[in-house]
Homo-oligomer: A and B are copies of this chain.
Amino acid sequence: MRVGVLGTGGVGQTLAAKFASLGHDVMMGTRDVQAARARAEAGWGATVLSEWLAKNPEVKLGTFAEAASHGEIVVNATAGMASLDALKLAGAENLDGKVLIDVSNPLDFSQGFPPALSVCNTDSLAEQIQRAFPGAKVVKTLNTVNMDLMVGPSLVAGGDHHVFVSGNNEGAKAEVTKILKDWFGWRDVIDLGDITSARGTEMLLALWLRLSMVMQTPMATIKVVR
């Protein structure tokens, strides 16, 4: 399958590598391809992009628009505060009718750590994206876990924990659930409801950030029990 991954940071690299390892035809999207290739530094959890691309030669690099156009499914792995801009550059015409997997969080680091959310409570980034791109089938998922856990749920507690999907399109949620289970190895995927339920998983970040601080690991996550 052709997959477009928007964002070349740690999350984008992790997801792109996983998709490629499964034999999918992956293009990562960035704002400025030349500038991205020339960048000598990498963000948190990421590898310098030119080095990463050398190690992952099967992954293509293009603009946001080229990557979105390339993908039969598209993943938003950009930083949450930049996601709406990145998706505008990707272009509504390249997202129409497609499943758009949104793994971002609207983390605002401007006031330091831990970050606050730039949107929450009565709205969410996922809803903002769905409203801005009504033709896309937005499915919020994986934003509650560290990037390594996204594609390797068994790294923690033998995989005995949960991930969530939120979205308005039932078919899209079923497709993403299949990807999570069959491609990434998730055992337990909870359908939280429509896209407004993404408020719950985005707001979980406030707890998740504290847990990662007191437990001194970004691998902490939650299992739902009842």
**A34 located at the interface, meaning its Cβ lies under 8 Å from any Cβ of chain B in the complex:** no
Cβ-based interface call for A82 (8 A): no
Please provide the chain A residues from 173 to 218 with a CB less than 8 Å away from any CB of chain B in the complex. 190-193, 197, 199-201, 203-204, 206-211, 213-215, 217
Tell whether A85 is near chain B: CB-to-CB under 8 Å. no
Task: Please give me the residue from chain B that is nearest to A162 by CB atom.
Answer: B222
The one of B192, B204, B215 in contact with A204, judged by C-beta atoms closer than 8 angstroms, is B204
CB distance from A126 to the nearest CB of B (A): 13
A22 contacts the other chain (CB 8 A): no
A3-11, A64-72, A153-161: which lies at the interface: A153-161
CB of B211 within 8 A of CB of A192, answer yes
Residue A223 at the chain B interface, CB threshold 8 Å = yes
Q: For the complex formed, measure the closest distance between the CB of A186 and the CB atoms of chain B, giving whole angstroms.
A: 14
| Contact assessment for B226 and A156 in the assembled complex, using a CB-CB cutoff below 8 Å | yes
Q: Is the interface of A mostly helix, strand, loop or mixed?
A: mixed
Number of chain copies forming the complex: 2
Specify which chain B residues have a CB less than 8 angstroms from the CB of A206 in the assembled complex. 120-121, 199-200, 203-204
CB distance from A13 to the nearest CB of B (A): 23
Interface size class of chain A, counting residues whose CB lies under 8 Å from the partner chain: 35 or more
Question: A192 and B217: CB pair below 8 A?
Answer: no
Asked whether, in the complex, the Cβ of B225 is within 8 Å of the Cβ of A160, the reply is yes
| CB <8 Å contact, A226 and B222 | no
Contact with A211, one of B190, B203, B208 (Cβ below 8 angstroms): B190
Q: Counting CB contacts under 8 A, is A220 at the interface?
A: yes
Q: In the complex, how many angstroms separate the beta carbon of A211 from the nearest chain B beta carbon?
A: 6
Q: Are A120 and B160 in contact (CB under 8 A)?
A: no
Taking CB atoms, residues of chain B closer than 8 Å to A117 are 121
Interface: A38 (CB within 8 A): no
Which residue among A116, A203, A217, A226 has the maximum number of chain B CB atoms within 10 Å of its CB?
Answer: A226
Chain A residues with CB under 8 Å of chain B are: 111, 116-117, 120-122, 156-157, 160-161, 164, 190-193, 197, 199-201, 203-204, 206-211, 213-215, 217, 219-226
Listed by A's residue number, 5 A-B pairs whose Cβ atoms lie within 8 Å are: A117-B121, A157-B225, A191-B214, A203-B204, A223-B223
